[in-house]
Amino acid sequence: MPFLELTLRCSEAEQPRYEAALDDVGSLAVTMLDADADTGNEHAILEPGVGETPLWQSIVLSALFPHDADALVILAALESFDPGLEWTQVRFRQVEDQDWERAWMDQYEPLQFGRRTWIVPWNHELPAGADAADAAVVRLDPGLAFGSGTHPTTSLCLQWLDALADEGALADRSVLDFGCGSGILALAALKLGAAHAVGVDNDPQAVIATHDNAERNDVAERIEVHLPQDEPAATYPVVVANILASALVALADTLAARVAPGGRIALSGILAGQEDEVLARYAADFERLRADRLEDWMRVTGVRRR
């Protein structure tokens, strides 16, 4: 079914007002894109903190309405709802319906991390190498979002887990995936030999996504997923936290307390240049700290002092 699409440009400060107006006049969906993406100045939106919705400074905001909606009536209603906003640059067009998540997933290819870790779309044939006897294959639905292995921060963590497995440091161990998103890191750890995994995320949708992916990978009985307030008090021999540098610094005491003496930790979501603050914050509780880089992103790893 086609839709009538409304598109406008606005600032970050104005975005909540525009979205409220569009919701009030009956838009079916509202999406936001970086207005500077086509100029080569695209800015990444990273995982937000609790209660935060960080946006680009300049936004292209699009809203969908039924295909037979009257554009002039919509525009009049918007101007009536909030006459203080600029509505003269609004554009309308008819667009065909499309399952955007599925279309993107059709282009998603299997990815290898380290020696034997593979992330493979659930509907994709196993590539050469992923069918090896010792391959650790995670079947993922990228449409569930929250982490598919394509971002350097996730890639760094998957490579680390793969290397731990080669050292025998995952076998029959418990793993904490703090900020689990899709559950990709916890699932990879289980496929690499961990006995049990716990995922923690502040987004209820991430909890659902992790459960769904665990079912898809036949490991649902070996993983628990919790919101932060429901997380059980425990320590783990392996902890991985792929969030943001600011959150890693703020949560240093919490994360350190989750790592058993002699246990291993990996911290990711750190932009190059931020690693020194993270290293300094964790130095009191961890030894053998090091920072590794992939593109513009860093991963900090260490061993909990005994």
**What residue numbers does the annotated binding site for S-adenosyl-L-methionine cover?**
154, 179, 201, 242
CA gap 81, 69 in Å, rounded: 18
Q: What is the largest distance, in Å, between two alpha-carbon atoms of the chain?
A: 69
Beta carbons within 10 angstroms of residue 282's beta carbon: 23
CA gap 43, 57 in Å, rounded: 9
Backbone angles phi, psi at 199, to 5 degrees: -110, 140
Q: Tell me, what DSSP letter sits at residue 127?
A: P
- Residues annotated within a binding site: 154, 179, 201, 242
CA gap 63, 65 in Å, rounded: 7
Say if CB 197 and CB 223 are below 8 A apart: yes
Burial of 158 (0-12, 13-18, 19+ CB in 10 A): buried
Single-letter code of the amino acid located at 282: Y
CA gap 217, 49 in Å, rounded: 29
Residue 178: strand, helix, or coil: strand
